[in-house]
Amino acid sequence: MSALVNGLRSRRDVIALGTDGPGAITVRVQIPELWDLVTVRCAEGTSSTALKQVVLDAFGERHHPASDYVLKLRGFEVLDESAPVTVAGAREGSTFLMTFRHRRPVR
């Protein structure tokens, strides 16, 4: 993935999740409620649960547990969060959408 695409609408730093080796991919995770996204470099066996937790830590979200969020890829929910992100269908440059599992009232 080019540096230009990686830098679009994302923070400058790339979060490293696991060791960077063969099979590692770079994905972006967007949280629409925060109007922000982060770039994460995932090791080969990184699970969706670990990805969710790292993203929540990056955004400083402490009020809601990771189970309150759903992770979507290409519009579909990632059902097996214990499986690696590559098994869920992610490839280099994929963008995940992470949002609340249930709708929140507007205040």
* Structure confidence at residue 72 (pLDDT): 93
Locate the domains of the chain by residue range.
Answer: 3-100
* Structure confidence at residue 59 (pLDDT): 85
Query: What kind of fold does domain 3-100 have according to CATH?
Result: Ubiquitin-like (UB roll) (3.10.20)
For 74-96, how does the pLDDT look when each residue is reduced to its tens digit (9 = 90+)? 989 899 989 999 888 899 989 99
Question: With 0-12 CB in 10 A as exposed, 13-18 as middle and 19+ as buried, what is 27?
Answer: buried
C-alpha to C-alpha distance for 107 and 97, rounded to whole angstroms: 23
For 4-43, how does the pLDDT look when each residue is reduced to its tens digit (9 = 90+)? 554 555 556 888 887 777 888 999 999 888 888 899 999 8
Structure tokens at 19: 């060791």
